[in-house]
């Protein structure tokens, strides 16, 4: 708790001193430059499906990379790059050494600019083997330190599918005595998933420490028709006996899951392979 209090004080002082910048707009940094995107609406809008996209079997990795603060992050990232079609990063930063690995893997990436610190953009990032066809974001300020946590919702085309894949990357509110901001943020994320008619992946660092937070997101998941991909053995990092990271899904077939302990971050990566069911791989229509 002393370390957490010190971090809160440090970020608060930095925010007041002006070395940390929080943009007023929803800014998306991409491999093609920067642009403003919409704050996520109540429902994801209808978007025309594309003829090319992810294959009917694809692989997803979700990982909080701890802002690349540990020296062996590149080794860990390289392990997963070769077996991943969609990356969901939390605490990503747009450092050139990190982007070099992503670009060399020919991944098309989009990052929410939650804030800028010492010249680097920080926020969740989605990186895919194909380009997303829609993006929107949600930023929720941490009640204690007023620095935003971000959500990025992206639509990815799936070849020969009636619907694109909705991917929602979540970095949950952490520094809060109660659960007011956490409930608002999570209800927005799960509401987007619930209202979407096609396949959904909702994953990330939920900061679901403690029984109350875990119970709340599990209740939302059940109400949204989402299942959870739990690796075996389950090596997810836990705080107060509850895992912080989750990978929920709906409208997909889970083939296998994987994870492994790493010293490259304070979180262990989550990996899963999915297939698209035949009920979705049908006659092509638009949403």
CATH number, domain at 64? 3.60.10.10
Provide the pLDDT for residue 46: 87
CA distance 138 to 189: 9
Judge whether residue 4 has pLDDT over 50. Answer: no
Chain segment 110-123, per-residue pLDDT in tens: 999 988 888 888 99
CA distance 161 to 126: 21
Does the residue 110 lie in any domain?
yes
Do 227 and 250 form a contact (C-beta atoms < 8 A)? Answer: yes
Does the residue 281 lie in any domain?
no
Does the residue 74 lie in any domain?
yes
The pTM of this model reads 0.92
Q: How many structural domains does the chain have?
A: 1
Q: In terms of C-beta density within 10 A (0-12 exposed, 13-18 middle, 19 or more buried), how is residue 237 classed? A: middle
CA distance 190 to 165: 15
Chain segment 146-184, per-residue pLDDT in tens: 899 999 999 999 998 999 999 999 999 999 989 999 999
Does the residue 28 lie in any domain?
yes
Does the residue 280 lie in any domain?
no
Q: In terms of C-beta density within 10 A (0-12 exposed, 13-18 middle, 19 or more buried), how is residue 227 classed? A: middle
Domain interval for residue 203: 2-275
Whole-number CA gyration radius for the chain: 18
CA distance 102 to 93: 12
Q: Is 76 helix (H, G, I), strand (E, B) or coil?
A: helix
Do 251 and 198 form a contact (C-beta atoms < 8 A)? Answer: yes
Does the residue 100 lie in any domain?
yes
Name the residue among 30, 280, 32, 31 with its Cα closest to residue 158: 280
CA distance 127 to 89: 8
Chain segment 19-72, per-residue pLDDT in tens: 788 887 889 999 999 999 999 999 999 888 777 899 999 999 999 999 999 999
Buried b (16+ CB within 10 A) or exposed e, 131-160: bbebbbbbbbebebbebbbbbbbbbbbbbb
Chain segment 138-147, per-residue pLDDT in tens: 999 999 888 9
Does the residue 284 lie in any domain?
no
């Amino acid at each position: 708790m002393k370390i957490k209090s010190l971090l809160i004080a440090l970020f608060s002082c930095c925010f007041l001193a002006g070395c940390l910048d929080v943009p007023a707009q929803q800014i998306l940094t991409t491999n093609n430059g920067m642009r403003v995107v919409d704050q996520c609406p109540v429902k994801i809008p209808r978007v025309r499906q594309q003829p090319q996209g992810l294959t009917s079997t694809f692989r997803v990795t979700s990982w909080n990379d701890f802002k690349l603060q540990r020296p062996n992050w590149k080794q860990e990232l390289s392990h997963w790059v070769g077996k991943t079609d969609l990356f969901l990063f939390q605490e990503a930063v747009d450092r050139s050494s990190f982007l070099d690995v992503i670009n060399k893997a020919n991944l098309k990436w989009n990052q929410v600019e939650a804030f800028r610190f010492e010249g680097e953009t920080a926020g969740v990032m989605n990186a895919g083997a194909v380009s997303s066809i829609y993006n929107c974001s949600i930023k929720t300020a941490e009640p204690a330190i007023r620095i935003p946590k971000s959500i990025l919702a992206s639509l990815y085309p799936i070849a020969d599918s009636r619907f694109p894949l909705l991917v929602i990357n979540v970095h949950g509110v952490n520094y809060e005595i109660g659960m007011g901001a956490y409930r608002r943020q999570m209800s927005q994320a799960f509401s987007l998933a619930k209202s979407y008619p096609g396949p959904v992946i909702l994953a990330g660092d939920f900061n679901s420490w403690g029984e109350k937070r875990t119970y709340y997101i599990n209740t939302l998941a059940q109400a949204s028709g989402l299942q959870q991909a739990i690796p075996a053995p389950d090596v997810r990092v836990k705080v107060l006996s509850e895992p912080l990271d989750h990978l929920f899904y709906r409208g997909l077939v889970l083939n296998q899951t994987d994870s492994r302990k790493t010293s490259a971050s304070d979180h262990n990566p989550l990996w899963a392979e999915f297939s698209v069911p035949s009920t979705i791989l049908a006659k092509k229509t638009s949403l």
